[in-house]
Amino acid sequence: MGFETVAFYVLALLAVAASLGVVAQRNPMHSVMLLIASFGALAGLYILLDSPFTAVTQIIVYAGAIMVLFLFVVMLLNVGREDAAEWDRSHPLNKPAARRLGAALAVFLLLELAWAVWHATTREAVGLASVSSGGVSSVAAIGRSIFTDYSFQFEATSILILAAMVGAVVLARKEQE
């Protein structure tokens, strides 16, 4: 087994374990921390995929900015552990019929995933290491693409960010009586 294979499996395991932790944790603070770990593992996978720009953006934008925003809100609202009894009482899907249907669908989904894993590991396919990367790791090429082919979309995102900024300020503002 080469370095790339070992690194892929370690990072994939880390990402899946951390994501499972996010969903299983009842303390939102721990969920946010585990999600940061999951994003770190994904950044490692991006480096394995010859995409250093995306890996660094993942760390700076996701782990650095978005997750800090989440941490800030968790701390601001000072939310504690989720109450399991309240979960049982208030979950809209916690009814016998919905439970049975949900369990059946979950088993179906797990079977599908197992089938996909089995095919991905047994089927003959060309390894990514032997496919030409064709300069996908070049930050210059990405920048050229953003500012030429995708220049309209790039400008549209600036409107989106402006709208989100104004929206966040208006929504979170205290109402004046």
Report the site for another protein in 42-101 (rule: CB under 8 A): 42, 45-46, 48-51, 53-54, 57-58, 61-62, 65-66, 69-70, 73-74, 76-77, 79, 82, 86-87, 90-93
Rounded to whole angstroms, the Cα distance separating 120 from 11 reads 17
The least CB distance from residue 95 to another protein, in Å, is 14
Q: How far apart are CA 65 and CA 56, in angstroms?
A: 12
Other Cβ atoms closer than 10 A to 175: 4
Residues numbered 157-176 forming contacts with another protein, rule: CB under 8 A = 157, 160-161, 163-165, 167-169, 171-172, 174
Q: How far is CA 91 from the centre of its chain?
A: 25
Backbone angles phi, psi at 153, to 5 degrees: -60, -35
User: Is 82 or 100 the residue whose CB approaches another protein more closely?
Assistant: 82
What does each C-alpha distance from 32 to 41, 67, 75, 97, 143 come to in angstroms?
14, 7, 11, 33, 31
Query: How many chain residues touch another protein (CB under 8 A)?
Result: 90
Please say which residue, 93 or 97, places its beta carbon nearer to another protein: 93
Q: Which parts of 98-157 interact with another protein (CB under 8 A)?
A: 102, 106, 109, 113, 116-117, 119-121, 123, 125-136, 138, 141-142, 145-146, 149-150, 153, 157
Query: Smallest distance, Å, CB 96 to another protein?
Result: 17
C-alpha dist (Å) from residue 137 to 47, 50, 119: 9, 5, 29
Q: For residue 42, give both structure tokens.
A: 């994904």
8 A C-beta contact, residue 55 and residue 44 = yes
Kindly identify the residues of this chain, within the stretch 9-48, that bind another protein according to CB under 8 A: 12, 15-16, 19-20, 22-23, 25, 28, 31-32, 35, 38-39, 42, 45-46, 48
What is the smallest separation between the CB atom of 32 and another protein, expressed in angstroms? Answer: 7
